[in-house]
Chain A
């Protein structure tokens, strides 16, 4: 490389030949730009000549067998809800609910020498839930248990479980329920005798209140029951931690009297549960338990019953769906299950917004909350994101004609039918969430005839 470069200034020479190069370059550049974005345009024109190989059809005439099944039992412990009262109507029968709980032991505070006992009460707080007639007074009773609440080998307590209690209540209360009150309204059972006994024991340092074992033996637990057959409401109370309490009130006899109290909170949440007695006698569901936990809708005026805590689940089966395989060239694109509540059946019980759908498991999960009529576990259908599949709910408030629940069961059905065989015995179960089943009496009466439950298949034949 030489160190010095000599710059030569070229005079620009105008030339036609050079100008010509510009055109192809511009043209090609334009083509490249255009060609990348206008490959295929969508047309409406030309639709008259297309030769279609596919036909999209709807069929909703597959037979749907509707029935009601009932759970043998439902776990109700640890739900943070205490449900008490009774309710009955001609359709779903009568329900009575009692709630069991015990008290938690703690090292009680020392009671001063100048303390004088005043009173004691169990405090219950509304949780906002209720069914039935809340305009009439409700009467409840509090009983002391004569045996300890024990779960035995099982981790849960069930709606069929009960423990012995003294038939003589230690307290009764009658009140106008205000379950929807915004303030921290309470219902209190006066238990002055029990309170005095406890007060004395605590003051004296009795071993019944200094040792947990002795304490649990001394106060085995309590049950709140419906206090009158006149009750036609079930009220929900908050049974989460520290919300059910026993308060002992006393004062110190000083020159200026000082009010004091001892609070004993509810014990382990797992020991609190609701016992439900349901009685279907006089309804169409009478004898459901003795008939294999299942009643076909044809036996119940073509209706199916669904309710939490009593454990009623609506079941659908598709006995003729297998026939679809008689024809080969089709694909299911969409499958919907459409259920309508019986008209005027949901005036007192607002329809649940969320409804779930369950399939029978291929493996019987012992831990499953819900089971089919044969005792096999059922589990929720899920969508692509593994979230529980819920129904699309439309409420026709004006005419009531278009009130319905629609489940998109496309992925379930296409999966089930992949092997060109459909097991019609298994069926699908429609109901509340598991929480809904263990802590609410939410219910729906489904129509099975006018109109029937529909399985609506959108399928492509080719």
Chain B
């Protein structure tokens, strides 16, 4: 498996560089111009195919960083190293016209392992939100009947690196915490090629964020029922704004604007059921965006709920129960948008399908998820996005770094 190992290392280096330079542009949606941009899902590889359902699940098959209490599910014999990427094809349409584009990027890089018999830990990197758009408008030149093309563009996003740990104080109860550092920028620009100006408004964002999780396991004979709770408090983000105007022979830093960015209080509950390698789960999550205001007159924030469900069905046949067992997944998700435009919600609805394919080697599992969905709305002259999103999560077990620690 030498070639695969080399390839994996190459891939990681490549993605690592990508994540620094280009993660910022992982979204290409006009809606990403609002607030912190488009929020990224924090579901783990297998959960992605289950409608993103994951609050009740333990980290048995992969690192489920949605609920930090889940790390306790990591077996002492297994260490995870996971890389998730996606490729998304989106068709944008209004009532009159439509356009399509493809974009792809890194979804996360995660590690999870047991540190001591009583504690498991995880650390990783993932985007929290992302911004990426470029819109050409025909603007008029005031004081004349001339027009010109003005381009609005945005990029950036908030990323997080986290370190999490989970312990089991009493039997069947796991508690966990993720300490995340949020960092990134929200950048909006206005420019014109013909009149050579470029106004760029960058807000650098950072702060620490703590998320807490709980998981309680009920065991009835061969049936297991896990109930998970997650909580994160609202947090003001530290911001620093720089606005620069660039013309043909001048660059000037303008007044510093003060934008307030905040992440909301977040609570969630999830139930996971499993029996004979069959699993099912539901999630409910609420983010209190209503208290967070953005300085854009077009939009309003509201509390947003997320509902999801997912099923995991094991393959039939001789491999059942062995490490060669394939798992098939299906799920659905409704994410209410945290913004509304003209009181029109821009909800995110998706159906997911996927599979976990075990491999007998260094690369242990490939989790594939296909997400078919819709976001936005055609009402009030708004945009609707229809998308097909292919997620690929590569799970490497016994990563050499971790293996060494154990030797």
B116 near A: Cβ within 8 Å?
no
B248 near A: Cβ within 8 Å?
yes
Contact B135 A57 (CB under 8 A): no
A333–B192 Cα gap in the complex (Å)? 10
B298 near A: Cβ within 8 Å?
yes
Contact B190 A53 (CB under 8 A): yes
Contact B85 A40 (CB under 8 A): no
CB neighbours (8 Å) of B133 from chain A are: 40, 43, 46
Contact A20 B359 (CB under 8 A): yes
Partner of A41 from the list B85, B101, B357, B390 (CB cut-off 8 Å) is B101
Map CB proximity to B onto A406-438 as digits: 1 under 8 Å, 0 otherwise.
000011001100100000000000000000000
Contact B146 A58 (CB under 8 A): yes
CB closest residue in chain A, given B30? A46
CB neighbours (8 Å) of A44 from chain B are: 97, 99, 135-137
A458–B87 Cα gap in the complex (Å)? 43
Spot the interface stretch: A24-32, A168-176, A236-244: A24-32
Map CB proximity to B onto A49-63 as digits: 1 under 8 Å, 0 otherwise.
111111111111000
CB neighbours (8 Å) of A332 from chain B are: 247
CB neighbours (8 Å) of A56 from chain B are: 139, 141-142, 148, 150, 192, 195
B7 near A: Cβ within 8 Å?
yes
CB neighbours (8 Å) of B25 from chain A are: 39-40
Interface residue total, chain A, C-beta cutoff 8 A: 49
B105 near A: Cβ within 8 Å?
yes
Contact B137 A17 (CB under 8 A): no
B254 near A: Cβ within 8 Å?
yes
CB neighbours (8 Å) of B254 from chain A are: 329, 462
CB closest residue in chain A, given B381? A48
A411–B196 Cα gap in the complex (Å)? 13
A113–B263 Cα gap in the complex (Å)? 116
Secondary structure of the B contact surface, majority rule: strand
A428–B192 Cα gap in the complex (Å)? 29
B356-380: which residues lie under 8 A (CB-CB) from chain A?
Answer: 357, 359-361, 363, 366
A43–B97 Cα gap in the complex (Å)? 11
Contact B102 A38 (CB under 8 A): yes
Contact A414 B248 (CB under 8 A): yes
CB neighbours (8 Å) of A17 from chain B are: 359-361
CB neighbours (8 Å) of B383 from chain A are: 45-46
CB closest residue in chain A, given B195? A333
A410–B249 Cα gap in the complex (Å)? 10
B144 near A: Cβ within 8 Å?
yes
Contact B197 A331 (CB under 8 A): yes
B155 near A: Cβ within 8 Å?
yes
Partner of A24 from the list B87, B196, B394 (CB cut-off 8 Å) is B394
CB neighbours (8 Å) of B197 from chain A are: 54, 331, 333, 460
B102-131: which residues lie under 8 A (CB-CB) from chain A?
Answer: 102-105
Contact A31 B87 (CB under 8 A): yes
A255 near B: Cβ within 8 Å?
no
Contact A458 B195 (CB under 8 A): yes
A42 near B: Cβ within 8 Å?
yes
Contact B199 A53 (CB under 8 A): yes
CB closest residue in chain B, given A24? B366
Q: Provided the pairs A41-B101, A47-B136, A462-B254 are in contact, do residues A20 and B366 lie with their beta carbons within 8 angstroms?
A: yes
CB closest residue in chain A, given B151? A42
A23 near B: Cβ within 8 Å?
yes
B341 near A: Cβ within 8 Å?
yes
Partner of B101 from the list A38, A329, A334, A418 (CB cut-off 8 Å) is A38
CB closest residue in chain B, given A27? B392
Closest-CB distance, B259 to chain A (whole angstroms): 12
A344 near B: Cβ within 8 Å?
no
A415–B390 Cα gap in the complex (Å)? 53
Map CB proximity to A onto B141-157 as digits: 1 under 8 Å, 0 otherwise.
11110101011110100
Q: Provided the pairs A28-B11, A462-B254 are in contact, do residues A40 and B132 lie with their beta carbons within 8 angstroms?
A: yes
CB neighbours (8 Å) of B298 from chain A are: 49, 51
Partner of A411 from the list B105, B142, B248, B394 (CB cut-off 8 Å) is B248
Contact A45 B30 (CB under 8 A): yes
CB neighbours (8 Å) of A55 from chain B are: 142
A208–B201 Cα gap in the complex (Å)? 85
B407 near A: Cβ within 8 Å?
no
Closest-CB distance, A18 to chain B (whole angstroms): 9
Contact A21 B249 (CB under 8 A): no
Contact B297 A51 (CB under 8 A): yes
Contact A35 B18 (CB under 8 A): yes
Contact A43 B135 (CB under 8 A): yes
Contact A21 B4 (CB under 8 A): yes
A14 near B: Cβ within 8 Å?
no
CB neighbours (8 Å) of A35 from chain B are: 18, 22, 87, 103-105
CB neighbours (8 Å) of B366 from chain A are: 20, 23-24
B389 near A: Cβ within 8 Å?
no
Contact B30 A49 (CB under 8 A): yes
Pick from A39, A52, A414 the residue with the most CB of B within 10 Å: A39
Closest-CB distance, A57 to chain B (whole angstroms): 4
Q: Provided the pairs A31-B85, A45-B383, A462-B199 are in contact, do residues A331 and B247 lie with their beta carbons within 8 angstroms?
A: yes
B334 near A: Cβ within 8 Å?
no
CB neighbours (8 Å) of B155 from chain A are: 40
Contact B341 A30 (CB under 8 A): no
Contact B143 A59 (CB under 8 A): yes
Map CB proximity to A onto B181-201 as digits: 1 under 8 Å, 0 otherwise.
000000000101001110101
A411–B247 Cα gap in the complex (Å)? 11
A458–B85 Cα gap in the complex (Å)? 46
B28 near A: Cβ within 8 Å?
yes
A59–B142 Cα gap in the complex (Å)? 9
CB neighbours (8 Å) of B322 from chain A are: none
Other than the known A27-B392, A50-B135, what 4 A-B pairs have Cβ atoms closer than 8 Å? A35-B104, A38-B103, A331-B252, A415-B249
Closest 6 CB pairs of A and B: A46-B30, A58-B143, A57-B142, A41-B101, A47-B137, A35-B104
Residues of A within 8 A of B (CB): 17, 20-21, 23-25, 27-28, 30-32, 34-35, 38-60, 329, 331-334, 410-411, 414-415, 418, 458, 460, 462
A-B contact pairs, 15 of them (CB 8 A): A28-B392, A38-B103, A40-B153, A47-B152, A49-B33, A50-B33, A51-B298, A52-B139, A52-B190, A57-B142, A58-B146, A331-B252, A333-B248, A414-B249, A460-B195
